[in-house]
Amino acid sequence: MPPRMLPEPTPETRHFWEGCKAGELRLQRCADCDGGAYFPPRPFCPKCGSRKVEVFKASGEAVLWSYVINMRPRPDMGTEPYAIAVVKLSEGPTMMTNIVDCPQTPEALQLDMPVKVTFAPQSDDITLPFFQPAGA
């Protein structure tokens, strides 16, 4: 199996990936407006344009927002069907992920089910955030 497709962090996203290595899901929010948390990372507020933004540790709590189950696995993803999911974080942003520790079936993957972040190292540099059922 070829190695999993992994991200290449940029200066603007490095804090996020450093956070994953440290076991923290890091989001950003604006210090100048009440625009709330945002994702993916960027060094300014997408609501008001202010550069005064801060990184903070998110709760890691989310709900399953939507997904598909890919029946033709990408070569680096193994041989079994898997869900490509989007979760809605309790802080507001949505984020693509996989749901782990859970059968990859429509019956097990119910929209709005609570999930929580979990981290899995993939290389020396990259740890990916995944989500698992909150009760797991």
Partner 1 sequence: MKRKSIAVVGAAETTQMGKIPDVSVIGLHADAALNALADAGLKPSDIDGVATAGISPVELAHYMGIKPTYADGTQVGGCSFMLHVRHAAAAINEGLCSTVLITHGESGRSRVGAGGFGRSASSLMGQFEMPYGPMGPPTMFTIPVLRYLKARGYTVEDLAQVAVIQREWAAKNPRASFKGPITVEDVLKSDMIAWPFTKLMCCLVTDGGGALILTSAERARDFPQKPVYVLGTGESVETPMVSQMYDFTHSTAFRISGKKAFDEAGITHSDVDHLMIYDAFAHLPLYGLEDLGFCQEGEAAAFIKGRNTAPGGKLPLNTNGGGLSYMHSGMYGMYALQESVRQMRGIAPAQVPGAKISIAHGVGGMFAASGTIVFSNEAP
| Residue 130 · residue 76 · CB < 8 Å | no
Q: Which helix (H) or strand (E) holds 38?
A: strand 37-38
Residue 118: CB atoms within 10 Å:
17
- The Cα–Cα gap between 74 and 78 comes to 7
User: C-beta of 50: minimal distance to partner 1 in Å?
Assistant: 20
Contacts of 9 (CB under 8 A, 6+ apart): 16, 17, 125, 126
Query: Binding partner 1 by CB under 8 A: which of 13, 90, 118, 132?
Result: 13
**Region of 25-33, 47-55, 95-103 interacting with partner 1 (CB under 8 A):** 95-103
3-state secondary structure of 96: strand
Q: Which is nearer to partner 1, 56 or 65 (CB)?
A: 65
CB of 38 to partner 1, least distance (A): 10
125 Cα distance to chain centroid: 17
Site string for partner 1, 62-91 (x = CB under 8 A): ---xxxxxxxxxx-xx---xx-xxx-----
CB of 134 to partner 1, least distance (A): 19
By CB under 8 A, is residue 132 in contact with partner 1?
no
Residues of the shown chain interacting with partner 1 in the complex, contacts defined by CB under 8 A: 4-10, 13, 17, 39-40, 65-74, 76-77, 81-82, 84-86, 94-98, 106, 111, 122, 128
